[in-house]
Amino acid sequence: MAIARALASRPSLLLADEPTGQLDRQTGRQIMRLLQAVVELEGVTALVATHDPALLDLADSVLHLVDGKITA
């Protein structure tokens, strides 16, 4: 439901802070695939923050935050 509300205004940037944090692994991957589809079909840029390394392979690019500094 939160994803639908976030997309209702057709934003160009979608910020998602731990969108899969309270979900089981399978549902989390489904949510990430949904975000991928939105990015591809709607031209939305999604910035997703996660602690789940299993989701990193779904990202177009990955940045790491270490001690307050962004690293590639």
- Domain locations in the chain as residue ranges: 2-71
Q: What is the CATH number of domain 2-71?
A: 3.40.50.300
Q: Quick check: 1 pLDDT over 80?
A: no
3-state helix, strand, coil in the chain (%, to 5): 45, 20, 35
- Beta-carbon count within 10 A of 62 CB: 14
Residues 6+ apart with CB under 8 A from 66: none
Q: Supply 37's token pair.
A: 């589809």
Q: Quick check: 62 pLDDT over 80?
A: yes
pLDDT above 70: percentage of residues in the chain: 97
Q: Quick check: 18 pLDDT over 80?
A: yes
